[in-house]
Structure 1
Amino acid sequence: MLIWINGPFGGGKTQTAYEIHRRLPGSVVCDPEHVGFGLHRMTPRALRQDFQDMPAWRQGVLEVLDLVLTKHDGPVIAPMTLIEPRYFDEIIGRLRDSGHDVRHFALLADKSTVMRRLSGRGLGLVTGREASLRREAFAVAKLGACLERLTTPEFAEHVWTDSRSISQVAEHIATSAGVRLERDTGSSLRRQLRRTWTQVRHVRFD
């Protein structure tokens, strides 16, 4: 099974993916962004574009996910914003046509909620809400389009996250996908430390 976690930038996709992974034995996280980062690093900065517009990214993601789904004996989790219907069909549609069990979830929230989350992603590297949001300029610029596209029926199942914790979102997805998560043990401090470490691991500097 592939669990594709969609949503706007800052919508909680990565945190949710790793929460599910931590509590779902045998699962793996396959992040399609890494294919895009590789393509960007092979390309002179002046020639870089949104890597999702590159056919190589879509084909690469499709082939890697097809390989892992075929060879790995366990759930595969892919956290990735994907709002272009044609690209959605090229990857998710083709995986389904190949016989793979693909469960798609779009994490949604009010615009103000997402903006608040984006402003908190600086991890102390920048100070102040305005400075944090300037660092997230790409995500902020895409936010309106993400929320507009992802609320349409073709991007269901929709999961509204404004009043849900990461654990609650993960449990909702697991129940809908028909998988059982292990009990969420540990103190609230340990949970916060785990999530901070996940955030640190996914900070980009290039």
Structure 2
Amino acid sequence: MIVWLNGPFGGGKTQTAYELHRRLPGSVVCDPEHVGFGLHRMLPEPLRGDFQDLPAWRQGVFEVLDLAASRHPGPVLVPMTVTEPRYLDETVGRLREAGHDVRHFALLAERETVLRRLRERGLGLGLKRESFAVSRLDGCLEALRAPEFADHLATDRLTVSQVAGRVAELSGLRAAPDTDGALRGRLRRALVGVRHIRFD
């Protein structure tokens, strides 16, 4: 099974993916951003735009996830924002056409909730470091509420652990119980955040 976690930037996709990974033995996280980062590094700087606009990104994501889901015995967890219906069709749609069981979830929240989460991950710089995410927020939220981006999961009043548990339940996966206390959970999420700081 492929579990694709969509949502706005700062919506909790990566945190949820790694919480699921921790609680689903045999699962693996496959992050399509790495395909995009590789393509950006290959291109001259003036040619670097949104890597999702590159057909090579969509094709590469399909091929990598097709391989991972075909050869890896456990769930494949995919945290990635995609708001263009055609790009969703060329990734999630093609994977389904290839015979994969793809469960797609749009993790949604109110604008202020997402802004608060972005401030928390901004390394003390507020929203200054998250200008790209803020600039795309309203468009993301509007696009992802469309029917083609279902299943929709409202996360405003849920913890990361609760979101992960709900995704597992809706996917028919049996997640181990969350045994973290409040402090350990915060530390674990902080480590995930630090590991995913982007410098390029």
Which of 180, 183, 188 is equivalent to 1:194?
188
Structure 2 CA distance for aligned equivalents of residues 72 and 56 of structure 1: 23
Aligned equivalent of 2:90: 90
**Partners of 2:168 and 2:175 within 8 A in 1:** yes
Aligned equivalent of 1:21: 21
Structure 1 CA distance for aligned equivalents of residues 93 and 52 of structure 2: 16
Aligned equivalent of 1:46: 46
Matched to 1:159, the amino acid is: L
Normalising by structure 2, report the TM-score. 0.98
Aligned equivalent of 2:109: 109
State the shift of 1:184 in Å.
0.8
Count of residue correspondences: 200
Structure 1 CA distance for aligned equivalents of residues 108 and 62 of structure 2: 24
Aligned equivalent of 2:136: 142
Structure 2 CA distance for aligned equivalents of residues 64 and 43 of structure 1: 21
Q: How does 1:39-188 map to 2 (within 5 A)?
A: 39-124=39-124, 126=125, 132-188=126-182
Matched to 2:148, the amino acid is: E
State the shift of 1:191 in Å.
0.9
State the shift of 1:137 in Å.
1.2
State the shift of 1:185 in Å.
1.0
**Partners of 2:122 and 2:128 within 8 A in 1:** no
State the shift of 1:186 in Å.
2.8
Aligned equivalent of 1:129: none
Structure 2 CA distance for aligned equivalents of residues 134 and 141 of structure 1: 11
Q: Which runs of 4+ in 1 moved over 2 A?
A: none
Structure 1 CA distance for aligned equivalents of residues 181 and 149 of structure 2: 35
Structure 1: where are the runs of 5+ without partners? 127-131
Structure 1 CA distance for aligned equivalents of residues 136 and 123 of structure 2: 22
| TM-align CA RMSD | 0.8
Structure 2 CA distance for aligned equivalents of residues 32 and 4 of structure 1: 10
Structure 2 CA distance for aligned equivalents of residues 149 and 49 of structure 1: 20
Normalising by structure 1, report the TM-score. 0.95
State the shift of 1:119 in Å.
1.3
Structure 1 CA distance for aligned equivalents of residues 32 and 163 of structure 2: 21
State the shift of 1:123 in Å.
2.5
Identity %: 66
**SS in structure 2 at match of 1:189:** helix
State the shift of 1:58 in Å.
0.4
